[in-house]
Amino acid sequence: MKNAKSEVITFKVDAALSEALKDIPNRSRFIRSAVLAALDNICPLCQGAGFLTPGQKQHWDSFAEGHTIRRCHDCHEIYLTCSHEQTKPSAG
């Protein structure tokens, strides 16, 4: 098996973010960890874009016919419920 080559990706930051990062001992490792954590938490539908394409909106509208959005009384987070399941998720 060949070793995977690393790719260098650069990006611009404003002065405040640059200042906040300056004292972190290994900025590359910190940024890699932050990006990986963020990728674990993106919306599975819009993939982090923050909006739905017209095609995605059509699929969402179809899905939403049998589902509702509710707020948990325990943790106050928003979650989806299926009309076929009437159980509340546990707050964890």
Model pLDDT for residues 3-52, shown as the tens digit of each residue: 678 899 999 999 999 999 999 999 999 999 999 998 888 888 888 889 99
Specify if 88 maps to a domain: no
CA separation for the pair 83, 15 (Å, rounded):
49
**How many domains does the chain contain in total?**
1
Alpha carbon dihedral 58, 44, 48, 5, in 10-degree steps, equals -130
Specify if 42 maps to a domain: yes
Given this model, what pLDDT does residue 17 score? 95
The reply to whether the predicted model has a pTM over 0.75 is no
Question: What Cα–Cα distance (Å) separates residue 2 from each residue in 5, 7?
Answer: 9, 15
Specify if 21 maps to a domain: yes
Given this model, what pLDDT does residue 1 score? 55
Specify if 89 maps to a domain: no
Specify if 3 maps to a domain: no
Given this model, what pLDDT does residue 59 score? 94
Specify if 67 maps to a domain: yes
Average pLDDT over residues 69-87: 87
Specify if 27 maps to a domain: yes
- Which residues constitute the domain of residue 70? 15-82
| pLDDT reading at 74 higher than 90 | yes
Q: Token pair of 10, please? A: 């650069």
Specify if 23 maps to a domain: yes
